Chains A and B, each alone.
Chain A
Amino acid sequence: MKHAVPGQRLAAHLLLVLFAGGLPAQDTPLEQVLIDGEGWELVGEGYKFTEGPACDPAGRLYFTDVPGDTIYRLDDRGKPGVFVSDAGRPGGMMFGPGGKLYCTQGAKRRIVAYDPEGKLEVIASDVRANDLVVTGKGGVYFTDPRARRVWYVDPQRNKRVVDEGIERPNGIILWPDQGTLVVADTNSSSLWTFRIEKDGGLAHKQAYYTMRLTRDKAPQSGADGMTTDRDGRLYVATHAGLQVFDTQGRISGVISRPQKAFLSNVVFAGKGLQTLYVTSSDKVYRRKTKVRGLLFSPHQAPPAKP
């Protein structure tokens, strides 16, 4: 058998992958995301249970301590400070239109939004919301794991159930163009995709992504919070680690957890939205990457300083 020299071989591979027969790209490894030598860096610790990482239009990170009833945000030096205290068991968060911070309040069974001055507005009441995603038009999809439901609150604040039956719907996110919704099932290996209809309803439910399971927790993936990057990769926090998928739903790999503890959620924030932030039990970590996240409600004024 002949052996080509490495350079020629690589060039041949690239040409073949790019041009040959129009076959779709197969090659989407983790090295497209991770930077050699960069690992997880501790951002904050000493919390009870961290969740809800969210990025404001200026790239600043916010997160919650659920049992601690507090929303934190990082200051200009990257140190966490209190943004809202007595926040009623804040869970999932995301910034929406107008630079408002949408947040689930478990203790008050509602979804609220804080404007840049910290003023509170009720978006939905009498709901058991775990995690949420806010569209660029101000609609909100949220999960109710116990009732196995996905809800939609339209921009006029009318709410309705848009899916039922996922075993434990938890994390929820949009594809970058907001045409597709993804819901994570904590209790199985599936991430479910839906087409978003013109009226905000969901159609064509499919277990498009299959997650890696761990031996001790299978068949539960532990899938929780998710985020997407500008290229359409999807990131999901699970027992196995931070799992990364390509745009055709194929797993690209699993990024190791920063600590041996529950990994609850993930978001891109920081300069250029190039830093992954994850919440894990008592701590928050970050890690620089080669890719960029995105905001579903861009071009909004950032919140004023408290």
Chain B
Amino acid sequence: MRYSIAFVVLSLCAARAGAGDEQYALGADSKRREGTPAGKVSRHSHKSEIFPGTERDYWVYVPAQYDGSAAAAVMVFQDGKWYVNEKGQFRATVVFDNLIHAGEMPITIGIFINPGVVPASKKGARARRNRSFEYDTLSDQYVRFLAEEIIPAVGKNYKLTDDPRMRAIAGISSGGICAFTAAWERPDYFHKVVSHVGSFTNIRGGHVYPSIIRKTERKNIRVFLQDGANDLDNLHGSWPLANHQMAAALKFSKYDFGFVFGEGGHNGKHGGSILPDTLRWLWRDWKPVPEKKAGKDDGGER
């Protein structure tokens, strides 16, 4: 895990300059560049059958390079409104534009989806917020919702991949554990996972993942985790300890994983600042690799 070690060292060095989140800033890859074509983002709404009564918005990002001649990769972001926001902590669509333009990730359709709410029928009554139920529950219900409702809906308008290695899923906080659960339940569907300050704590039983990972036959998924020393420590658990437990379990079971642990709190500043490198790592082998000559080792990530 050369990448993660390098990042931890970098993070610790950076920490000397200033504790907490102030040290994390967006780099050039998260800013618009002249001459880099920008993808298009459209907003949609969805009423679910799998989560009965829920309504939600989602955004679809289509890169400028997409022309429908080949199937696009797919990356789904939970709490989509935070990731799609071009003035937010992640600016994922800008990063996509830059990385796709540079050939560092495939032509990828981004789906940025919000959690559901069940609006009350009575005027003024509070809606049933379904975020925790959808994201924190350890079941296949959410990934079924994506695979059977959302992705097919987007697929009506765009040619999408059916290769799990070309599908990625990401989220922050409860969205982070949600992304992991989706791939854990359906490794045949999602191969790549990104978790920012993921809630691998006992909100709805997610604290058991490290032990389950250690005692389950390895699944073919790639997992990236980011967390920070100033993340939450509350009734549900300690986020820093939980993420360390996750990383240790993934290491023990020889997963293809990356772990960046910095000094940040429960937000997307650190995760956002490293998103370009995270995506490079996640998609590092997306191009078919030419046969290597025998005996030559390039020392790349395994």
Most chain-A CB neighbours within 10 Å: which of B120, B131, B230? B120
**Alpha-carbon gap, A242 to B53, bound state (A):** 29
Q: Interface digits, A18-39 against B, CB 8 Å rule (1 contact, 0 not)?
A: 0011111011111000000000
* B-contacting residues, A130-147, CB 8 Å: none
**Alpha-carbon gap, A193 to B266, bound state (A):** 30
Chain B neighbourhood of A206, CB < 8 A: 51-53, 118, 128, 130, 133
Stretch touching chain A among B218-226, B232-240, B294-302: B232-240
Chain B neighbourhood of A210, CB < 8 A: 137, 204-205
For the complex, is A12 an interface residue (Cβ under 8 Å from B)?
yes
A248 touches B121 (CB 8 A): no
**Interchain CB contact (< 8 A) of B267 among A2, A21, A179, A208:** A21
Chain A neighbourhood of B258, CB < 8 A: none
**Interchain CB contact (< 8 A) of A247 among B129, B173, B263:** B129
A23 touches B235 (CB 8 A): no
Q: Interface digits, B9-23 against A, CB 8 Å rule (1 contact, 0 not)?
A: 000100110011100
Given the contacts A206-B133, A248-B131, A177 and B266 also touching, CB distance less than 8 Å? no
**Interchain CB contact (< 8 A) of B234 among A27, A180, A195, A205:** A27
Given the contacts A12-B20, A16-B230, A21 and B52 also touching, CB distance less than 8 Å? no
Question: A-B contact count, CB below 8 Å?
Answer: 126
A253 touches B235 (CB 8 A): yes
**Alpha-carbon gap, A145 to B118, bound state (A):** 27
Chain B neighbourhood of A9, CB < 8 A: 230
A232 touches B126 (CB 8 A): yes
For the complex, is B172 an interface residue (Cβ under 8 Å from A)?
yes
Q: Interface digits, A62-96 against B, CB 8 Å rule (1 contact, 0 not)?
A: 00000000000000000000000000000000000
Count of chain A residues with a beta carbon within 8 Å of a chain B beta carbon: 42
Instruction: Report the minimal beta-carbon distance from A212 to chain B, rounded to whole angstroms.
Output: 10
Most chain-B CB neighbours within 10 Å: which of A16, A30, A203, A251? A16
Most chain-B CB neighbours within 10 Å: which of A179, A198, A205? A179
For the complex, is A215 an interface residue (Cβ under 8 Å from B)?
no
Instruction: Report the minimal beta-carbon distance from A164 to chain B, rounded to whole angstroms.
Output: 16
Give A179's nearest chain B residue, CB to CB: B125
Given the contacts A28-B235, A203-B53, A249 and B266 also touching, CB distance less than 8 Å? no
**Alpha-carbon gap, A80 to B94, bound state (A):** 68
Given the contacts A180-B128, A248-B132, A30 and B235 also touching, CB distance less than 8 Å? yes
**Alpha-carbon gap, A250 to B199, bound state (A):** 13
For the complex, is B71 an interface residue (Cβ under 8 Å from A)?
no
**Interchain CB contact (< 8 A) of B53 among A26, A195, A249:** A195
* A-contacting residues, B7-63, CB 8 Å: 12, 15-16, 19-21, 51-54
Instruction: Report the minimal beta-carbon distance from A139 to chain B, rounded to whole angstroms.
Output: 12
Chain B neighbourhood of A208, CB < 8 A: 128, 133
Chain B neighbourhood of A161, CB < 8 A: none
For the complex, is B268 an interface residue (Cβ under 8 Å from A)?
yes
For the complex, is B136 an interface residue (Cβ under 8 Å from A)?
yes
**Interchain CB contact (< 8 A) of A2 among B53, B128, B263:** B263
Summarize B's interface: helix, strand, loop or mixed: loop
**Alpha-carbon gap, A29 to B235, bound state (A):** 6
Instruction: Report the minimal beta-carbon distance from A213 to chain B, rounded to whole angstroms.
Output: 12
For the complex, is A252 an interface residue (Cβ under 8 Å from B)?
yes
Chain A neighbourhood of B130, CB < 8 A: 206
Instruction: Report the minimal beta-carbon distance from A178 to chain B, rounded to whole angstroms.
Output: 7
**Interchain CB contact (< 8 A) of B265 among A1, A16, A205:** A16
* A-contacting residues, B55-105, CB 8 Å: 82, 88-89
**Alpha-carbon gap, A22 to B88, bound state (A):** 10
Instruction: Report the minimal beta-carbon distance from B246 to chain A, rounded to whole angstroms.
Output: 18
Chain B neighbourhood of A205, CB < 8 A: 52
**Alpha-carbon gap, A223 to B199, bound state (A):** 28
A195 touches B128 (CB 8 A): yes
Q: Which 6 A-B pairs have the closest CB atoms?
A: A179-B125, A204-B53, A20-B267, A179-B120, A16-B265, A21-B267
Known: A177-B125, A198-B122, A247-B126. 18 other contacts (CB 8 A): A1-B15, A2-B15, A13-B265, A17-B232, A20-B21, A26-B199, A175-B126, A195-B118, A195-B128, A196-B122, A203-B53, A203-B121, A204-B53, A204-B54, A206-B118, A206-B133, A248-B131, A250-B203
Give A residues with C-beta under 8 Å from B.
1-2, 4, 9, 12-13, 16-17, 20-24, 26-30, 175, 177-180, 193, 195-198, 203-206, 208, 210, 232, 247-253
A-B contact pairs, 27 of them (CB 8 A): A1-B229, A13-B230, A13-B232, A13-B265, A16-B265, A20-B269, A21-B172, A26-B173, A26-B203, A177-B120, A177-B125, A178-B125, A179-B121, A180-B120, A180-B128, A195-B53, A195-B120, A195-B128, A196-B121, A196-B122, A203-B121, A204-B53, A206-B130, A206-B133, A232-B126, A248-B129, A248-B131
